[in-house]
Chain A
Amino acid sequence: EADIYQTPRYLVIGTGKKITLECSQTMGHDKMYWYQQDPGMELHLIHYSYGVNSTEKGDLSSESTVSRIRTEHFPLTLESARPSHTSQYLCASRGHSTGEQYFGPGTRLTVT
């Protein structure tokens, strides 16, 4: 079982609040990713990182930002949450020699 963690698991907040979704992995993986997934739908890449101090935007436009100050930590921040941000956010990391991605349990965000 992969060691990748996300907190909180569930979050309900009001419009306009600033929030940070946490993601940590203990596998020493350089590459990490954030995906957004609506219920029953496909995953969309919103951010990724090659390693420390490296971040890139993904295919899906997002109003969120990320940082990568430490290898194991890849938080995602929404400066001002809106109802359109309601979704599940999945963090993942990629193994060194294999292509597989390990996913965290996800954060289900509801913005009221």
Chain B
Amino acid sequence: GQQVMQIPQYQHVQEGEDFTTYCNSSTTLSNIQWYKQRPGGHPVFLIQLVKSGEVKKQKRLTFQFGEAKKNSSLHITATQTTDVGTYFCALSGSARQLTFGSGTQLTVLP
């Protein structure tokens, strides 16, 4: 099945700094989803990207889907302590099951 590489695995930032996590695939993706999981919590859907070159924003979060639909990124501007958690990208399979990336654990230092 399809696989996706997600980097970095860990990221520590000072509050107010920016943060970016990347997902890369060797194959063209039909779509990509992003989830956030707070420590001790469950994944919560953030967004789905479908179109080549698509850029979507949610307040301080910016999501991009590459032109070739093989990579995606999530960028957080001016991080806050509430941004702490693990961010996963996920690919949708033929049965609409999700294959998750390994996740990026974000720590925000006050």
A binds B: yes
Count chain A CB atoms within 10 A of each CB in B31, B42, B96 and give the residue with the most: B42
Determine whether B88 belongs to the interface, using a CB cutoff of 8 Å to chain A: yes
Closest to A40 in B: B105
Which chain A residues lie closer than 8 Å to B98 at the CB level?
33, 43, 45, 101
> Measured between C-beta atoms, what is the minimum distance from A108 to chain B in Å?
9
Contact of B103 among A42, A99, A105 (CB under 8 A): A42
* CB-based contact B97/A48 at 8 Å: yes
Which chain B residues lie closer than 8 Å to A58 at the CB level?
97
Determine whether B92 belongs to the interface, using a CB cutoff of 8 Å to chain A: yes
Closest to A43 in B: B100
In the bound complex, CA of A86 to CA of B43 (Å): 19
* CB-based contact A42/B48 at 8 Å: no
Q: Which A residues from 53 to 89 make CB contacts under 8 A with B?
A: 56, 58-59
B→A interface (CB under 8 Å):
1, 31, 33, 41-45, 48, 86, 88, 92, 95-103, 105
A→B interface (CB under 8 Å):
31, 33, 35, 40-45, 48, 50, 56, 58-59, 90, 94, 98-106
